[in-house]
Amino acid sequence: MATTSTRTVDRAMDLLATVTEQSPISLTEAARATDLPASTALRLLRSLESAGLLTRDEEGRYRPGARLIQLGARAFSRESLVTLSRDAMERVVARTGESVYLSVPGTSDNAVYLAIVEGTHSVRHTNWVGRTVPLEGTAAGMALRGEVAPQEFARRPKTVEPDVTALSAPVRVNGTVVGALSTLVPTYRCTKELEARCGEALVEATAELGHALSGE
């Protein structure tokens, strides 16, 4: 029994790793990559999907699920993600003067701010490290949900706070969103020029951070 259980776990972990590395991937491709019968792969993939570790898109292809992303982000968050983000966040502040936050998925419906590099303006956003914001209707939420295309950023004015405009870009590791960097700018000074500068800085910083986290 122990041997059978161990083999099942090993197979599930192989499938999980394959989907994470080759996402999006079909059942046939996943079975072939792990040298499993399609029926066995399907059973294990369904179990992983039920646990929230994988998700299936409209075309039936598998991708990392919300729970897997959250677990990975939390593992990063205590050490490498926060540490590696620092220099990139400081460069965004140097280019924009605005406070920059690092956020990761929290529960199923919110994001949590893990770190901040405060801006240089006398009027700047209050430190929200440790606080949560909804995924729905926020710039960070759009980034963390994968709703922002590569080389793009999200913009949401007057959402959590009525006098703040949030700009956010996702941190992707091998195609999977593990976090987001955001600038929170008092709306009265968020000109088109500043918005473009913040967005460009965020996109460059998140790309750099994604490469660092993936070991590239």
Bridge partners (DSSP) listed for residue 132: 112
Whether pLDDT at 139 is above 90? yes
Give the predicted TM-score (pTM) of the model: 0.64
Compare 178 and 203 and report the one with higher pLDDT.
203
Quick one: which of 155, 145, 64 has its CA closest to 110? Answer: 145
Query: Which positions ≥6 away from 203 have C-beta within 8 Å?
Result: 151, 152, 153, 169
Tokens representing 101 are 């936050």
- Mean of pLDDT values over 183-197: 92
Whether pLDDT at 1 is above 50? no
Whether pLDDT at 130 is above 60? yes
pLDDT band at 109, cuts 50/70/90? confident
Q: Kindly report, residue by residue over 28-54, the tens digit of the pLDDT.
A: 999 999 999 999 999 999 999 988 888
Whether pLDDT at 92 is above 60? yes
In angstroms, what CA-CA distances link 169 with 13, 172, 189?
Answer: 30, 9, 20
Full set of structural domains in the chain with CATH: 2-64 (1.10.10.10), 71-214 (3.30.450.40)
Q: Kindly report, residue by residue over 158-173, the tens digit of the pLDDT.
A: 877 788 899 999 999 8
* Best mean pLDDT range from 24-33, 51-60, 70-79, 192-201: 192-201
Whether pLDDT at 62 is above 70? yes
What is the model's pLDDT at position 215?
66
| Paired sense of beta strands 54-56 and 110-117, if any | unpaired
